[in-house]
Chains A and B, each alone.
Chain A
Amino acid sequence: MAAIELRGVVKRFGPIVAVDGLDLDVPEGICLGLLGPNGAGKSTTMRLLTGQALPDAGELRALGHELPSDAKAARAEMGVVPQLDNLDVDVTVEDNLAVFARLYRVPDVAAAVDRSLDLARLRGRRRDAVDELSGGMRRRLLLARGLVHEPRLILLDEPTVGLDPQIRTQLWTLIDDLRSRGTTILMSTHYIEEAERLADEVAVMAGGRIISRGRPAELIARHAGRETAEVYAPPDRLAEARGIAEADGLRVRPAGPAIAIVGSERAGNGSVPDGAVRRAASLEDVFVLLTGEEAE
């Protein structure tokens, strides 16, 4: 049974179509990365799965529960880690966890709090108010709060957005640990590295629908080939190199101050300038080619 099944889901906000005929299956036990630029419909999809947004069309099921009619029962078995920090900042770390243990009807609240404190590595800070914690500790607590009832399915909505690299790495270690224990994870992100590192499968989302899906290596092979050549040169030389590569049938994308010629292993003689930096094709190449957005 799939943990999540969406069929033809549509969600409109006035004239804006946030989710546009979305089909998505998430098998149990995998981490699926929902990768897309801002406004792709990732957060709306998350809210549809918790019943906090109602679909205009389509069918949704989560953990066997029909949504939105049975959303409350579905939420009892899923954990949600939001994009924004919504902890109670004046309240202690352990009280933040205890409140959510009660909301999730956990029978042994004290044991659940202790387990979550261990997960977040905050046992020594349990009686401190949240606003005394560092940014990294707060994010770990937010994650632990979403796991206080040991859910079968976890929705991570941009779990590391706006965090510095060190804190991001701490979070990735925690998420990786959950994945290795077989918990089903749906993680929205617009960070390529995050999807590449944590997701068993990646679904690239744009314009409210999935435009490609597969294991990262499959997506790279399917859309970007084996190799990408990055060309660094003055703008007029870049324009000339782009024209030659495109005339040879290659796809070219901007890459900061450079251009990236994707699938350069198929290039004919002279299509890739001497001095280009050749590297293995990446998920970033796929993302930019499919969405037209610069990657983060």
Chain B
Amino acid sequence: MSGGKVRLRRLEPAAIGGVMSREAANFRTYWRGTTFSSVLEPIVYLLAFGLGLSATLVDEVAGVPYVQYVGTGMVATAVIFSSALPAMFGTFVKHRFQNTYDAILAAPVDVEELVSAEMLWIGMRASVYGCVPLLVTIAFGLDPAWGMLLTPLFCLATALGFAGFGIAVAAMVAKIDQFNYVTALFVTPLFLVSGAFFPIDELPQGVQILAQLNPLHQLVELVRGGAFGFEAIDLVRFAGLVGFSFVMWRVAVNRMTARLID
């Protein structure tokens, strides 16, 4: 081959970069639609929930104007909808319909590199889209704060985990319809009890405990920490998100290996 002997190790940047360059090439063909909906959705939600509810039922929550409360919380919904769902559907379509992974795995790329690259790409994209609701909320009156600069990092740590979750689910389901169960049983409950729209401390005790295990809730708390002031426990929250992503990475690699290698 041109270039002579190549060094081949685990998790080679060249392999991961090559897979991500494929994603980038595809993204250039559809970024407009995805970006349009990512910007419009938080605006619509803020108008409907924020302005609508705050004008009629709720002025503020925990001393924060409701529009700003919902706007900071919506970072979490943007992250899960731009990580878990694209990972589930994208992985399924690329594997079952487009045979993309057969082509990539015929090159010097292994499943671990393939999954890592897919997670990184989705994670990076979701960390950008996750910031959009925050920017929209600033336009709606939220004061900028230095802590907000960490929002992309918090989004990335969370999105990597949900990307891994989506990839693992795609490797395990037999038919694309089965994503409906996953969405109804996991994705929707996770964002509803994340504290994005209402505080979880009004919920029953058991649900509150479960909510602490919800990565989206930890993300919401971290984003609000960036906007309104951090607490010491936020370090633990961030470490928890990193741990969540690491576990989901290994699960995704394991499930995809079982799916892709006969």
Which A residues are closer than 8 A to B by beta carbons? 11, 13, 44, 47, 50-54, 72-73, 75-77, 80, 82, 84, 86, 88, 90-92, 95-96, 98-100, 102-108, 112, 129, 145-146, 149-152
Contact status of A88 and B100, CB under 8 A, knowing A54-B262, A99-B21: yes
Alpha-carbon separation in the docked complex, A105 to B3 (Å): 8
| A50 and B25 form a contact (CB under 8 A) | no
User: Which of B2, B22, B99 gathers the greatest number of chain A CB atoms within 10 Å?
Assistant: B2
CB of B136 closer than 8 Å to a CB of A: no
With a cutoff of 8 Å between Cβ atoms, the chain A residues found around residue B8 in the complex are: 72-73, 76
| B108 and A72 form a contact (CB under 8 A) | yes
How distant is B182 from chain A, measured CB to nearest CB, in Å? 26
| A52 and B106 form a contact (CB under 8 A) | yes
| A103 and B261 form a contact (CB under 8 A) | no
Which B residues are closer than 8 A to A by beta carbons? 1-3, 6, 8, 14-15, 17-19, 21-22, 25-26, 28-30, 98-100, 102-110, 260-262
With a cutoff of 8 Å between Cβ atoms, the chain B residues found around residue A52 in the complex are: 102, 105-106, 260-262
| A90 and B106 form a contact (CB under 8 A) | no
With a cutoff of 8 Å between Cβ atoms, the chain B residues found around residue A96 in the complex are: 25
| B109 and A103 form a contact (CB under 8 A) | yes
Contact status of A95 and B106, CB under 8 A, knowing A54-B262, A84-B99, A88-B100: no
Q: Which residue of A lies closest to B9 (CB)?
A: A72
With a cutoff of 8 Å between Cβ atoms, the chain A residues found around residue B26 in the complex are: 88, 90-91
**Which of A53, A95, A103, A129 contacts B18, CB < 8 Å?**
A103
| B100 and A82 form a contact (CB under 8 A) | no
Top 10 nearest A-B pairs by Cβ distance? A80-B106, A103-B18, A86-B99, A53-B262, A102-B18, A76-B108, A103-B107, A90-B29, A95-B25, A99-B22
How distant is A83 from chain B, measured CB to nearest CB, in Å? 9
| A91 and B29 form a contact (CB under 8 A) | yes
Contact status of A100 and B2, CB under 8 A, knowing A82-B102, A91-B26: no
| A99 and B109 form a contact (CB under 8 A) | no
With a cutoff of 8 Å between Cβ atoms, the chain B residues found around residue A104 in the complex are: 1, 107-108
With a cutoff of 8 Å between Cβ atoms, the chain A residues found around residue B261 in the complex are: 51-54
How distant is A104 from chain B, measured CB to nearest CB, in Å? 6
How distant is A48 from chain B, measured CB to nearest CB, in Å? 9
Contacts A52-B260, A52-B262, A151-B1 known; 7 new A-B pairs at CB < 8 A: A52-B261, A72-B8, A76-B6, A80-B106, A90-B29, A129-B29, A150-B2
**Which of B1, B30, B99, B103 contacts A152, CB < 8 Å?**
B1
| B1 and A149 form a contact (CB under 8 A) | yes
Contact status of A75 and B106, CB under 8 A, knowing A88-B26, A102-B21: yes
With a cutoff of 8 Å between Cβ atoms, the chain B residues found around residue A108 in the complex are: 2
**Which of A76, A98, A103 contacts B104, CB < 8 Å?**
A103
Q: Which residue of A lies closest to B113 (CB)?
A: A72
Interchain Cβ contacts under 8 Å between A and B, 27 examples: A52-B260, A52-B261, A54-B261, A72-B108, A72-B110, A73-B8, A73-B108, A75-B107, A76-B8, A82-B99, A82-B103, A82-B106, A84-B102, A86-B99, A86-B102, A88-B22, A88-B26, A88-B100, A98-B21, A99-B21, A100-B103, A102-B17, A103-B104, A106-B1, A149-B3, A151-B1, A152-B1
With a cutoff of 8 Å between Cβ atoms, the chain B residues found around residue A84 in the complex are: 99, 102
| A103 and B19 form a contact (CB under 8 A) | yes
| A86 and B98 form a contact (CB under 8 A) | yes
Alpha-carbon separation in the docked complex, A112 to B18 (Å): 15
User: Which of A105, A149, A150 gathers the greatest number of chain B CB atoms within 10 Å?
Assistant: A105
Q: Which residue of A lies closest to B15 (CB)?
A: A103
How distant is B46 from chain A, measured CB to nearest CB, in Å? 33
With a cutoff of 8 Å between Cβ atoms, the chain A residues found around residue B19 in the complex are: 103
Q: Which residue of A lies closest to B103 (CB)?
A: A86
Alpha-carbon separation in the docked complex, A86 to B14 (Å): 22
How distant is B171 from chain A, measured CB to nearest CB, in Å? 15
Alpha-carbon separation in the docked complex, A150 to B260 (Å): 26
How distant is B93 from chain A, measured CB to nearest CB, in Å? 12
| A105 and B108 form a contact (CB under 8 A) | yes
| A112 and B2 form a contact (CB under 8 A) | yes
Alpha-carbon separation in the docked complex, A86 to B99 (Å): 5
| A76 and B106 form a contact (CB under 8 A) | no
Alpha-carbon separation in the docked complex, A104 to B109 (Å): 9
| A150 and B106 form a contact (CB under 8 A) | no
With a cutoff of 8 Å between Cβ atoms, the chain A residues found around residue B30 in the complex are: 90
How distant is B68 from chain A, measured CB to nearest CB, in Å? 39
With a cutoff of 8 Å between Cβ atoms, the chain B residues found around residue A76 in the complex are: 1, 6, 8, 107-108
Alpha-carbon separation in the docked complex, A270 to B92 (Å): 64
Contact status of A75 and B22, CB under 8 A, knowing A88-B100, A102-B17: no
| B1 and A77 form a contact (CB under 8 A) | yes
Alpha-carbon separation in the docked complex, A73 to B98 (Å): 25
With a cutoff of 8 Å between Cβ atoms, the chain B residues found around residue A72 in the complex are: 8, 108-110
| A150 and B1 form a contact (CB under 8 A) | yes
With a cutoff of 8 Å between Cβ atoms, the chain B residues found around residue A107 in the complex are: 2-3
